[in-house]
Structure 1
Amino acid sequence: MNEKQLEQMKNGKGFIAALDQSGGSTPKALALYGVTEDQYSGEEEMFDLVHDMRTRIITAPAFDSEQIIGAILFEQTMDREIEGLYTADYLYEKKGVVPFLKVDNGLDAEENGVQKMKPIADLEDKLRRANERNIFGTKMRSVIKEPNEEGIKAVVEQQFELGRQIMNAGLVPIIEPEVDINSSNKEKCEEMLKEEILKHLNELNEDDRVMLKLTIPTVANTYTELIEHPNVVRVVALSGGYEIDEANRKLSENNGLIASFSRALTQDLNVNQTDEEFNNKMSATVNSIYQASIT
């Protein structure tokens, strides 16, 4: 583990940019950016275009460690280059931004009100390559839709089981049991989730380090105990489908919770913008998320 990067993630002012849309969500990300499916043919062209988009974002002047302390990458992005450097090396060496890798393979079918992760049969290989590419940590996502005790317990158990494997590889896992913002019992889900996470945090060894990525809670400061837990490096919030203004407003009500936004970060960017237009929009968006993250 890189101790300098650990210090930045624990105490740095700013937020984490989530640039980890994968195969299933890439067409939506491109469409939001103004690239429709009739403008490319096949996955290879699609991933070339999304790497162009991510390169434009990462190389923008506003994308640096003054306001962005970390970035989550998709596996293909990790294996590609920006200006002659592998993406993670470019992020840290040129921008001072700590790199993370999305390692999950998507969601399983809903059961007991939740969607666990699909099996990650190649996790060891992903972790080996992450270390080779100078990645600091990982991210993996599950979804909770209903306050079902059995379902929430299963999600958290799976997350921490894989989290231990990731820690054993020398990386810091971002554990992400997302609560669906459209759940009719969102607040109850969050209460149950917090208690289940605390149980697992309290079972960790003294030197184990994890991060948490959670939906912005219905009741502000619900996750204060998690933020203050000695095994937790940082608790970050996903935008979860909220528009950026609403996401920022809700985030700013939670002390110590910082953003790890994806769609909210990129929703106002467009392939047809001039560099000046694009960079100005990036600067305004990054600053708004930063301000909401330093409350």
Structure 2
Amino acid sequence: MFENELRATAQAMVVTGKGILAADESFGTANKRFQKLGIPTTEEMRRAYREMLFTTPGIGDFFSGVILFDETIRQSTADGTPFVQLLSNQGIIPGIKLDAGAKPLAKSPNELVTEGLDGLRDRVKEYYELGARFAKWRAVITIGEGIPTRRCIEANAHALARYAGICQEGGLVPIVEPEVLMDGDHTLERSYAVHEEVLKTVFYELHRYGIALDQMVLKPSMVISGQTSSQPASVEAVAQATVKCLLDCVPASVPGCAFLSGGQTDQQATEHLNRMNVLYGGKLPWKLTFSYGRALQQAAMQAWMGKPENVPTAQKALALRARCNSAASVGKYSPELEKVAVSV
């Protein structure tokens, strides 16, 4: 029923030169970030913050889509324009976070499984009617002593496949997000091994559940050494390992891989994506682009601080990060771009 629409949407989500803004922080995550900066943790402040992001001039040139939270997809600008309409008017596809968060996996200490499958079919229908055209579900895999276990990987892959099937049935392109966390002291080699096992298991389950791979987008983490590793990997090593792993695991029919930033600094996330596209751009079966949250938003939030008079400065910060990552998605980023004042 939705096949042609889903295929077209998936292609539009990874169109050359654009990425996806992840603005789907839950109440808890958004409030935690606000508290650190002394911003009031109210619904109105969250709405005003999202309005600041979504009204940034020119973001339609850099973002193909924006992932929204349940609260946000129902909100409007101060003048009454629904956010979904505001984004659509800029050529940006509205999306929605569907998972209910990662919870402890039974009998598996220090491992998580993502919940939210109950009632999902009805929620997909409602969000489609509200204007969403794609969705996101995040699975969380932790590297540590004796983990991840097979049961953790299989449980999360199974949930991702069931979610993806319900989305495609209901008209939403599923973003499939198996995140291998950077937390820990693991080496690049260990990260590669875990990514490989996770991705192969995920695509096995997607195949088993009949998911149309040309009607989805993969949101992978990068193959990178742990944040406290004694052997930090270079930009070149991360780029090479990440692409090799994707080539080993991701079928050619997937339209694109929109990376998460996963705790990297703003500039690290940009540099890694850029190096992949410099080395392999045009030679891969799928696009390599970005779907960042903090790595796009953090500078803007710090500039905004909840004050209306700071909106222009905050929007310049968002536009700069958007421009840098857009350039990285085609292998044309350089550190000099960080110094360019973006005129908005």
TM superposition score normalised by structure 2? 0.75
**Cα deviation 1:176-222 (Å, max 9, x = unaligned):** 11100124242221111122133234443657622211112232302
Pick from 255, 267, 288 the counterpart of residue 298 of structure 2.
267
Pick from 19, 24, 28 the counterpart of residue 32 of structure 2.
28
Task: Considering fraction of residues, name the structure with more helix.
Answer: 2
Q: Does 1:240 align with 2:262?
A: yes
User: Residue 312 of structure 2 corresponds to which residue in structure 1?
Assistant: 276
Change (3 A) 1:206 1:130: closer
Counterpart residue type for residue 325 of structure 2? I
Change (3 A) 1:128 1:35: farther
1:254, distance to aligned residue in structure 2 (A): 2.7
Paired residue secondary structure (1:140)? strand
Q: Is the 8 A contact 2:67 2:94 kept in 1?
A: yes
Counterpart residue type for residue 175 of structure 1? V
Pick from 108, 127, 130 the counterpart of residue 127 of structure 2.
130
1:227, distance to aligned residue in structure 2 (A): 5.6
Counterpart residue type for residue 211 of structure 1? V
Distance 1:22 1:54 in 2: 13
Counterpart residue type for residue 45 of structure 2? L
Task: Detail structure 1 runs of 4+ shifted over 6 Å in the superposition.
Answer: none
User: Residue 95 of structure 2 corresponds to which residue in structure 1?
Assistant: 100
Q: Is the 8 A contact 1:67 1:286 kept in 2?
A: yes
Change (3 A) 1:215 1:53: same
| Larger Rg, first or second structure (1 or 2) | 2
Distance 2:199 2:276 in 1: 15
Task: Considering fraction of residues, name the structure with more strand.
Answer: 1
Distance 1:189 1:226 in 2: 12
Q: Does 1:53 align with 2:49?
A: yes
Q: Is the 8 A contact 1:149 1:192 kept in 2?
A: no
Deviates more, 1:283-292 or 1:269-278: 269-278
Q: Is the 8 A contact 1:72 1:101 kept in 2?
A: yes
RMSD between aligned alpha carbons?
2.3
Q: Is the 8 A contact 1:113 1:151 kept in 2?
A: no
Q: Is the 8 A contact 1:227 1:235 kept in 2?
A: no
Gaps of 5+ in 2: 225-240, 278-286, 332-344
User: Residue 215 of structure 2 corresponds to which residue in structure 1?
Assistant: 209
Q: Does 1:220 align with 2:242?
A: yes
Deviates more, 1:7-16 or 1:148-157: 7-16
Query: How many residues are matched?
Result: 284
Q: Does 1:145 align with 2:142?
A: yes
Distance 2:100 2:299 in 1: 28
Q: Is the 8 A contact 1:138 1:174 kept in 2?
A: yes
User: Residue 43 of structure 1 corresponds to which residue in structure 2?
Assistant: none
User: Residue 191 of structure 1 corresponds to which residue in structure 2?
Assistant: 196
Distance 1:137 1:288 in 2: 24
Gaps of 5+ in 1: 41-45
Counterpart residue type for residue 295 of structure 2? A
Distance 1:112 1:164 in 2: 29
Counterpart residue type for residue 50 of structure 2? R
Task: Report the identity percentage.
Answer: 22
